[in-house]
Amino acid sequence: MGCPTVLLLLLAFLTPGVAIRVPPAMKALSSLRWSTSFTTRHTVAKKYSIHYIQQKVDHFGFTADKTFKQRYLIADEHWKKNGGSILFYTGNEGDITWFCNNTGFMWDVADQLKAMLVFAEHRYYGESLPFGNKSFKDSRHLNFLTSEQALADFAVLIKHLKRTIPGAKNQPVIAIGGSYGGMLAAWFRMKYPHMVVGALAASAPIWHFGNLVPCGVFMEIVTKDFKRSGPNCSETIRSSWDAINRFARTGAGLRWLSEALDLCTALTNTEDVQRLKAWISETWINLAMVDYPYESDFLQPLPAWPIKVVCQYLKNPSVSDAQLLQNIFQALNVYYNYSGQASCLNISETTTSSLGTQGWSYQACTEMVMPFCTNGIDDMFEPHLWNLREFSDDCFKQWGVRPRPAWIITMYGGKNISSHTNIIFSNGELDPWSGGGVTKDITDTLVAITIPEGAHHLDLRARNAFDPTTVLLARSMEVRHMKQWIRDFYASLRKKH
């Protein structure tokens, strides 16, 4: 499973004036980085071998000929040299071993596709650091952290695999990725169709750039998720912001809030209150992304259909401010204290400085510029405009770079991608990222698969007894397409010989 990502802009937008913050998914990743024995509740550790390839730090310039070690993993238990295939995970913003262990779908289909699984780590994440521990030192060291360089790494790696692994040369490769990794999978097929016969891009918001989709779409979907999960649920959350604001007017109110919400550090000023509201918003967003039909522990240990559980506490928007916020506290506890271990809630826990986090923060400040906004009417959040200038200034302060918001569309085509072929765009309708995704067929071979009961790339997760029928259907359609690509590849190979 890929991870819910690219929230950075959103967070910057939710906390105006506050330095750029860390996307919630990144927290999970960064803590996982230091845990060697990590497995998810529903998966067992997978068997793979670890490899490294020397990559040019700069594929697009020749001044520096410096190289670095990119890590990749191979699992070939089910691979057949005769008539097999290669499933290539286009690594995204985190440690590749974690993605490898959590993309259960690839493991589940390896046998029927006679597939070798390859998981390629994205540069600047995990162990694949171009300048070691100096990689995040400054913008000069970060200069080679772009999607284009990452795709070039993938291309060089595939060429290397085909040259060095006996039997791999004449086999079809399929790119697979989720979230940002899903965008990479799609873009890889678009830019390097000679390297992969097709791509499965799961929950890939390739249109969440520029004006391609309304900036409010993401938060509207979050809101819908809460609306459908319990009566008055989204209305209760919408009412909570003003309730917080009213308490925040006085010192006594701030103290009451700090105690009622059981915060580890008491609120003392307006900025703290902004941070609190951003932190609560993030929680609702996270829940929308991981609203899975079974217990999971992606960001936090959570019950099945966690939003439904949360909404049990949020049935009445018309109670007193104090009651309403106590109900919000109960709801937050579903997310932060399902295990019953937390002694208090820490609203600054997002500001870690781990590698994965830093990398994505830089990417969001350069290429991955995703506009977000709310109006408080079509969504349950306080109204905020998308403010590119402010975002840009924050980026400059933090990284010494400014975003180029038009670039991704220039590079990858925006909505004008119909000349490409063999890409599956899968999206869960519960997933807020689906708003920036491709949810309708573009052509016969650029197809959209939607999963009504799916959150963020549910289809890439391992099969589960509680999987809804719609995700089973989605996966079987995905496999059907992949088998077709593989057949086409071998047919064209036979024609050549």
Amino acid (one-letter) located at 45: A
Rounded (10°) CA dihedral 445, 159, 118, 187: -40
Residue 179: active-site member:
yes
Query: Which one of 406, 472, 473, 493 is in contact with a second copy (CB under 8 A)?
Result: 406
Output the smallest distance, CB 306 to a second copy, in A.
38
Angstrom CA distances, 219 to 27, 192, 213, 331, stand at: 21, 33, 12, 19
Q: 47 vs 495, which CB is nearer to a second copy?
A: 495
Q: If you count them, how many residues does the chain have? A: 497
Helix (H, G, I), strand (E, B) or coil at 374: strand
Q: 41 vs 140, which CB is nearer to a second copy?
A: 140
**Does 54 engage in binding with a second copy (CB under 8 A)?**
no
Q: How far is CA 393 from the centre of its chain?
A: 25
| Other CB atoms within 10 A of residue 452 CB | 12
Output the smallest distance, CB 46 to a second copy, in A.
29
**Does 123 engage in binding with a second copy (CB under 8 A)?**
no
Q: 193 vs 468, which CB is nearer to a second copy?
A: 193
Q: In degrees rounded to 5, what are phi and psi of residue 359?
A: -60, -50
**Does 497 engage in binding with a second copy (CB under 8 A)?**
no
Contacts of 146 (CB under 8 A, 6+ apart): 363, 366, 367
Query: Which one of 36, 63, 82, 133 is in contact with a second copy (CB under 8 A)?
Result: 63
Cβ atoms of 331 and 287 within 8 Å: the answer is no
| Other CB atoms within 10 A of residue 56 CB | 19
Which span (152-160, 202-210, 223-231, 278-286) binds a second copy, by CB under 8 A? Answer: 152-160
Q: Which of 128, 135, 179, 234 is catalytic?
A: 179
Handedness of CA 112, 118, 120, 121 (dihedral sign): positive
317 class by beta-carbon count within 10 Å (0-12 exposed, 13-18 middle, 19+ buried) = middle
**Does 490 engage in binding with a second copy (CB under 8 A)?**
no
Report strand pairing: 67-75 vs 49-56: antiparallel
What is the 8-class DSSP label of residue 266? Answer: -
**Does 414 engage in binding with a second copy (CB under 8 A)?**
yes
Buried b (16+ CB within 10 A) or exposed e, 390-421: ebbebbeebbeeebebebbbebbbbeebeebe
Query: Which one of 211, 250, 270, 419 is in contact with a second copy (CB under 8 A)?
Result: 419
Output the smallest distance, CB 147 to a second copy, in A.
10
Q: Which of 153, 225, 291, 431 is catalytic?
A: 431
Output the smallest distance, CB 148 to a second copy, in A.
5
Output the smallest distance, CB 365 to a second copy, in A.
8
Alpha-carbon gap, residue 159 to 142, rounded angstroms: 26
**Does 57 engage in binding with a second copy (CB under 8 A)?**
no
Binding mask 162-191 for a second copy (x = CB under 8 A): -----------------------------x
Alpha-carbon gap, residue 473 to 479, rounded angstroms: 10
Alpha-carbon gap, residue 9 to 198, rounded angstroms: 30
Handedness of CA 44, 2, 23, 218 (dihedral sign): negative
Output the smallest distance, CB 156 to a second copy, in A.
6
Residue 272: active-site member:
no
Query: Which one of 416, 440, 465, 494 is in contact with a second copy (CB under 8 A)?
Result: 416
Residue 456: active-site member:
yes
Which span (100-108, 147-155, 259-267, 320-328) binds a second copy, by CB under 8 A? Answer: 147-155
Q: 214 vs 400, which CB is nearer to a second copy?
A: 400
Output the smallest distance, CB 334 to a second copy, in A.
40
**Does 59 engage in binding with a second copy (CB under 8 A)?**
yes
| Other CB atoms within 10 A of residue 142 CB | 24
Within residues 353-382, the interface with a second copy by CB under 8 A covers: 366
Alpha-carbon gap, residue 76 to 107, rounded angstroms: 10
Helix (H, G, I), strand (E, B) or coil at 51: strand
Query: Which one of 47, 194, 440, 494 is in contact with a second copy (CB under 8 A)?
Result: 194
Q: How many of the chain's residues bind a second copy (CB under 8 A)?
A: 42
Query: Which one of 421, 439, 464, 484 is in contact with a second copy (CB under 8 A)?
Result: 421
What is the 8-class DSSP label of residue 127? Answer: T
Interface residue list for a second copy (CB under 8 A): 56, 59-63, 65, 139-140, 142-144, 146, 148-149, 152, 155-156, 159, 191-194, 366, 400-402, 404, 406-407, 410-411, 413-414, 416-422, 492
* Catalytic annotation, residues: 179, 431, 456
